Structure 1
Amino acid sequence: MSTKPIFKEFFANSDLNAPIILQAFSDLYGCIYLNDNNHPCIGFLPDHYVLFKNKKWQYFQKNGFNQYKETNDNASLSHTFPIHPDEVQSTQTGFEGGYMGFIDYNFAASQFISSPGLNQPQVYLGCYHSYLKKEQSAWFFYSHNDAITAQQDLLYLKQKLEQYLKDPAQQLDRFSLNQKCAAKWSKAQYQHAFQRIQDYIIAGDCYQINLTQAFTAEATGSLIHTAEQFWQLTQAPYSGYLKLDEFELLSCSPELFIEFSTQQKLITKPIKGTMPRDADPVQDQINKQQLINSTKDQAENLMIVDLLRNDLSVYAEIGSVKTPQLFAIESFNQVHHMVSEIHATLKADVNPLNLLLSALPGGSITGAPKIRAMQIIEELEAAPRGAYCGSMGYFNFNGTGSWNILIRSIQKYQNQLSIWAGGGITIASDCDAEYQECLDKVSAMLELINTWQRETL
């Protein structure tokens, strides 16, 4: 099959945003949205997909419209989702048909340590031959399928959208919280974990640990009803959404993990170092300058840069790993972040999916040295992270693609919802400041999610 889409047609105008389309397609299995640094795309009805849940791999093949049958395929992921690097796609940016999904933190960590996961999907990867893409303020339908199949799919999607627009309430249960989303840890529990990390650092076990905590609630209805408000709030370049039956993942991530570019080029942009934004422009600039001048944050950032350089070097051409940018400041709606950038060239015989799996979890959300950091995280954190700190993204059929780090993200399975936040702890860290940094990162999201709290009599 050619990697170039063979069918393209105008789908909808700019008045229809991604959350509306996703709500209309809520019953289509594997519906997934990626902002992809302002190159939005929506995948639906994968040709086949793989799911890892409850310590078991499951493979499914499409055998009818929105119907899937489990198969006995036990092939490796790289065989099930082949890459064809010699195929040349169009010059457009972003998704052009291929593989979309997510990999959660505990699955990735379990490659190196014992890291039991949550009772929810831990890996999902689907092969998408048809998708929507926003270009010049309008949505277009693309397909690699034959023209007759593509036309049938397009007609069905337009009918689904028209039906939804006539009666939006018919599609999904409205989202609501049964109680306020609040921290699972008390501050005293956070302080205890912080001190244990200091003890490990003094003992020589580690240099840095990314300590995170969960904010949880019980909820009903679908997270997609909150997406528009969250994405407007955060303006996150690597936001996304995925629904798999009772599991939903809503990402407001600002962090790129790895971008796979043409000619085997790799880019990773770890975030380490945070200061809150301020409504007063003068104070906001003071906060930004304080981050620029912070030797503590620079040291923390450099540790992760070194870790990621090492992770990439395993599969990169010798001498290709470079660091063209250190300690740049990127400003988002709620926080300023310190961001560095690393480039490398992937070896020609390496499947990009294998690199992605081996490099996860990302160093910016584990610590250094990486394996010992993950062991300490497993010991100290109160619960499995699940999708949080995993990765969500895509590969085109030719191996180009983009994957984020799932920070600032909400996961919901059945009626259990969680939002997480954390930060890197070093010997120079102050407990109160690190605790406040957690709140700075997540406070705006908590305030928004709690507007959906159900009124009680």
Structure 2
Amino acid sequence: MTAPHAREIICWEPAALAQRLRGQKHLTLLESVARQEHLARYSFLACNPVQSLRVEKGRAFLDDVARDEAPLALLDRLMADNAQAHLAHLPPFQGGFAGFISYEFGQALEPSLRLPGFRPIVPDMVLHRYDTVIAFDHMQERAWIIARHEQDADELERLLKAKPAPLGSAVIEGWSSNFTRAAYEAAIARTVEYILAGDIFQANITQMFSAAIPQGFDAFAFYKVLRQTNPATFSCFLDYGDVQVASSSPERLLNCMNGKIEARPIKGTRPRDADAARDSALIMELATSRKDRAENVMIVDLLRNDLSRVCQPGSVRVPVLCGLESYANVHHLVSVVTGELLREQTIGGLVAAAFPGGSITGAPKFRAMEIIGGIEQAPRGVYCGSIGYLGFNGAVDLNIAIRTAQFSGGVARVQGGGGITARSQPAAEYEESLTKVKRIMQAFAP
């Protein structure tokens, strides 16, 4: 097994280098904007992939050629064919696949799942193979080009010398929701009825805000505003031609390194307040909320079950239960679930076990997804799916794509919502859905 080559370069802000690479094919920026030593230490930037995997209606296409293999089986084979050794003491993603898995890909993982036949707004999955990446270590303030071939590192370094492309407008106006307030509150009440009837324990219900993309709008310019307005641990910008995505997600679906798995489900939210005393009161209210803690614990149990399918017996643990984390716009309850991957298990198997994340579906997962589809009556696309990387060295990091804007078919879409339990109050849930999208909408404002 060969190892890639690493070349240290001047450590710029990742977004600044991404601006120099605009116009290159399939630009992918995975950025830790709200930086933390253990959770959000690294960022990655890549473009011009050597291979592309796309999934539409459950069928895989490799470089636009249809394949008969199941998507995750094909991905596992490609990962095995290109396996490479890990360069020690460097950021974990050193080449591999990166991109998004849409929420609707969950249909392919559970054949018995019955979702409405929505017209998709993005493919089920788009993953690009990058043999060359720029990797940033923000704690050390260092950056490297990591490449399978030295000449590819030369070419990327040449591209980085380009002048930054000028930015267009980040403004979009004229937003509308697929729910009125009354309809959304009725949807919450209906979900509570499902719960009280014993159909489910919890479901995550969202509303979608959409607007036409005006001429001159620049999705990357918007991302640069968003990363300042709502800095997050798992931010990203993807420019895949027909689909562009800007995300400021604080939530990790799963991380895997050396067979050690970590998931970080978020359940329980309060808005931030500029007044310190009021902000502290909101923290206390969240920390002592029986409803929010119950919501979080239910999803932790679901995740423990998901991971136990692919982890060594007895290895699944919950080192943090309902821990408090504060971000620019909200306070959250966050738990940590860990495990040790079975030696014979594949990355595709891990994704199949965990996707989509329980925190944005509900419990039981697949019945909750059916109820969500019936209530929301719209596809989610990248939102509530995952964005991240799957490395040829076995390293994996995938977010849950909340706090995310997606642009496709001439339409911008932003979604927000929350977990519904038997204790949910429709009016409060409506207000929470607005809190979730507040900073994103501010980034679109004039």
TM-score by length of 2: 0.90
Kept in 2, the 8 Å contact 1:109–1:361? The answer is no
Name the residue aligned to 1:455. Answer: none
- Answering whether residue 44 of structure 2 is matched by residue 46 of structure 1, we say no
Query: Where do 1:13-412 residues align within 5 Å?
Result: 13-14=11-12, 17-36=13-32, 37-53=40-56, 56-60=59-63, 70-71=64-65, 73-75=67-69, 76-82=74-80, 87-112=85-110, 113-115=113-115, 116=118, 118-135=120-137, 136-137=140-141, 139-145=143-149, 147-155=150-158, 157-159=159-161, 161-162=162-163, 164=164, 168-169=165-166, 174-177=169-172, 179-220=173-214, 221-262=217-258, 264-412=259-407
Distance 1:139 1:362, change over 3 A: same
Provide Cα deviations, 1:391-447, integer angstroms capped at 9, x if missing partner: 011122121221110000000003101111111111111111111111111112212
Return the alpha-carbon distance in structure 2 between the equivalents of residues 188 and 285 of structure 1: 31
User: Following TM superposition, by how much is the alpha carbon of 1:48 offset from its aligned partner in structure 2, in angstroms?
Assistant: 1.0
How far the C-alpha of 1:132 sits from its partner, in A, is: 1.2
Contact in 1 for aligned 2:246/2:404 (Cα 8 Å): yes
Q: Partner amino acid for 2:5?
A: I
Kindly indicate whether the alpha-carbon contact (under 8 Å) linking 1:109 and 1:360 is maintained by their aligned counterparts in 2.
no
Judged with a 3 Å threshold, the aligned counterparts in structure 2 of structure 1 residues 117 and 89 are, in CA distance, closer, same or farther, namely farther
Say if 1:394 and 1:402, in contact at 8 Å, map to a contact too.
Answer: yes
Instruction: Please identify, of 76-85 and 416-425, the stretch whose mean Cα deviation from structure 2 is larger.
Output: 76-85
Amino acid corresponding to residue 364 of structure 2 in structure 1: P
- Does residue 15 of structure 2 align to residue 8 of structure 1? no
Relative to structure 1, is the Cα distance of residues 370 and 78 closer, same or farther in structure 2, using a 3 angstrom cutoff?
same
Q: CA deviation at 1:117?
A: 5.4
In structure 1, the residue matched to 2:36 is none
CA distance in 1, matches of 2:169, 2:427: 38
Q: Distance in 1 between matches of 2:22 and 2:61?
A: 22
Contact preservation (8 Å) 2:31, 2:42: yes
Q: 1:205 to 1:88 in 2, by over 3 A?
A: same
Hey, what's the Cα distance between the residues in 1 that align with 2:386 and 2:367? Answer: 21
Counterpart contact for 1:102–1:125, Cα < 8 Å: yes
In structure 2, relative to structure 1, the CA distance for the partners of 1:330 and 1:117 (3 Å cut) is farther
Is the alpha carbon distance of 1:84 and 1:268 closer, same or farther for their aligned partners in structure 2, counting shifts above 3 Å? farther
Task: Tell me how far 1:323 sits from its aligned partner.
Answer: 0.9
Deviations 1:342-393 (A, max 9, x none): 1111100111232113321100000111111011001000310010000011
CA distance in 1, matches of 2:78, 2:280: 50
Deviation at 1:206, TM superposition (A): 0.7
Q: 1:324 to 1:86 in 2, by over 3 A?
A: farther
Q: CA RMSD in A?
A: 2.0
Structure 2 CA distance, aligned partners of 1:27 and 1:414?
A: 19
| Aligned mates of 2:157, 2:86 — CA distance in 1 | 26
Structure 1: how far apart are the matches of 2:206 and 2:125?
21
SS of equivalent residue, structure 1 residue 185:
coil
- Specify whether residues 18 and 226 from structure 1 end up closer, same or farther in structure 2 by C-alpha distance, changes over 3 A only: farther
Tell me the amino acid that sits aligned with residue 24 of structure 1: R
Distance 1:257 1:117, change over 3 A: farther
Shift of 1:83: 7.6
TM-score if structure 1 supplies the norm length?
0.88
Q: 1:72 to 1:431 in 2, by over 3 A?
A: closer
Distance 1:173 1:332 in 2: 28
Residues 53 and 119, structure 1, Cα contact 8 Å, conserved in 2: no
Output the amino acid matched with 1:100: A
Structure 1: gaps spanning 5 or more residues: 61-69, 452-457
Q: State the distance in 2 between where 1:92 and 1:71 align.
A: 35
In 2: Cα distance, 1:86 partner to 1:41 partner: 18
Distance 2:321 2:83 in 1: 30
Distance 1:83 1:321 in 2: 30
Give CA deviations for 1:88-132 in whole Å, capped at 9, x if unaligned.
431323322222111010112442223445142321112211111
Q: Greater CA deviation, 266-275 or 129-138?
A: 129-138
Gaps of 5+ in 2: 33-39
Match of 1:428, as an amino acid?
R
DSSP-derived class of the 1:49 partner: strand
Q: Secondary structure at the match of 1:100?
A: strand
How far apart in 1 are the matches of 2:416 and 2:242? 23
The one-letter code sitting in structure 1 at the alignment partner of 2:244 is E
**Percent identity between the two aligned chains:** 32
Matches of 1:33 and 1:189, distance apart in 2: 37
Residue type of the alignment partner of 2:22: S
